[in-house]
Amino acid sequence: MKKYSVAIVGATGLVGRTFIKVLQEQNFPISEIQFYASSQSIGTEIEFNSQMHKVVELKPETVKKFDFALFSAGGTISKIYAPLFAENGTIVIDNSSAWRMDEKVPLVVPEVNSEDLLWHKGIIANPNCSTIQMMLPLKPISDTFGLEQVIVSTYQSISGAGNKGLVQLDFESQNLVDYSFTKQIYSNAIFHPSDENYPMWSNEEIKMVNETRKILHLPELKVSVTCVRLPIRIGHSEAVYLILKKPFKISEIRELLGKQNNLIVEDNFPDGVYPTAAQTKDRDEVFVGRLRRDLANPNSIWMWVVANNIRKGAATNAVQIAQKMIEMKLV
């Protein structure tokens, strides 16, 4: 079996560490691996497949060619370094928002739009965590019944803000002072920062609108979003309301979602069966439940969609993109 050289950029972060776990769990065929981080991590060693590897400081001089570079070091680093790796012939799969809306860059959830990988030019963007999990149920419903409008409210974990979010939550839970998130996060519900182009909206809300349209190839789709951060460590939940174009039965939707790869339907609310964020620990799948026709609008359906934001929302989706590219013989 062919093996591939892989670089992890941002290897010491929450997503970076999860890349390392997922690659090992999935037995990704690796010939060589290199871990990059900032100057702060010089001297750090990371174990991979029972061997210790020194972290390399990311600098223009340390960039070299790999088959894949998995990036999770923030947008500023991606803007500068993704093109440097790509021009060497490396396929960059980027977790930041730096390239997602670039017309020349595919934005991919493998179960939904892997055909977009065919036109990549070296950089592939991994969507936002909240967008990825919503795409798995939306795609088959959109294809079969047509989407008139999507209205979603998110209930997002603080690990979406990286290590610093978890550290801040732990700190506040002991002291309840010094709110580096502008508002207290402990025992609270807060919003993401304001978007630079749409200041009345948060940047997370605008990402979900734009990315949903791009992934589903529905540039005019009506998408309305409210994103909320909660003091949950891992796992994002979403209350998704869909207005559909064609009549539907709930049983048809349940059957359709049951056939979607990597989507698990847990839908028996009267008996207490529905997914929650806590159960997504170490899970790569997306979970959906509480399928119900809206009481006021019979052409609309509600659902509850849950996933691990660090795994399917970031690291797992990126590794699946690399696996899909191997399967499609694009590398």
- Please identify which of the residues 129, 192, 217, 227 carries the catalytic annotation: 129
Residue from 4, 7, 12, 264 that binds ligand NAP (CB under 6 A)? Answer: 12
- The count of other CB atoms within 10 Å of the CB of residue 183 is 10
Task: Compute CA distances 190 → 184, 203, 216, 231, 278, whole Å.
Answer: 8, 13, 29, 9, 20
Residue 231 in contact with ligand NAP, rule: CB under 6 A: no
Whole-angstrom distance, CA of residue 285 vs CA of residue 307: 7
Among 73, 123, 158, 169, binds ligand NAP (CB under 6 A): 73
**Interface with ligand NAP by CB under 6 A: which range of 33-41, 99-107, 270-278, 282-290?**
33-41
Work out whether 228 is an interface residue with ligand NAP (CB under 6 A).
Answer: no
Closest-CA residue to 216 (of 153, 127, 305, 104): 127
Pick 46 or 253: Cβ nearer ligand NAP: 46
15 binds ligand NAP (CB under 6 A): yes
Q: How far is the CB of 280 from ligand NAP (least distance, A)?
A: 12
Closest contact distance (angstroms) between CB of 308 and ligand NAP is 9
Binding mask 282-311 for ligand NAP (x = CB under 6 A): ---------------------------xx-
Q: Nearer to ligand NAP by C-beta: 37 or 117? A: 37
129 catalytic residue (yes or no)? yes
What secondary structure does DSSP assign to 196-229, as a single string? SSSTTSBHHHHHHHHHHHHHHT-TT-EEEEEEEE
Least distance to ligand NAP, CB of residue 9, Å:
6
313: closest CA among 276, 279, 285, 288? 285
Residues 284 and 308: beta-carbon distance below 8 Å: yes
- Please tell me whether residue 316 binds ligand NAP under the rule CB under 6 A: no
Determine contact, residues 122/92, Cβ cutoff 8 Å. yes
Residues in the interface with ligand NAP (CB under 6 A) total 30
Q: Do the beta carbons of residue 244 and residue 148 sit within 8 Å?
A: yes
Stretch that binds ligand NAP, among 70-78, 114-122, 187-195, 297-305 (CB under 6 A): 70-78
Interaction between residue 16 and ligand NAP (CB under 6 A): yes
Among residues 147 and 232, whose Cβ is nearest to ligand NAP? 232
Which residues lie below 8 Å from residue 257, measured CB to CB, with a gap of 6+?
137, 140, 141, 263, 265, 288, 291
Residue 292 has phi, psi (to 5 degrees) of -155, 140
List, in order, residues 6 or more apart from 258 with CB less than 8 Å away: 265
**Does the protein bind ligand NAP through residue 140 (CB under 6 A)?**
no
- Alpha-carbon torsion (275, 276, 277, 283), positive or negative: negative
- Considering the candidates 53, 120, 192, 236, report the single residue annotated as catalytic: 236
> Any idea which residues carry the catalytic annotation?
129, 236
- The residues binding ligand NAP (CB under 6 A) are 10-16, 36-38, 40-41, 58, 72-75, 77, 95-96, 129, 159-160, 162-164, 309-310, 313-314
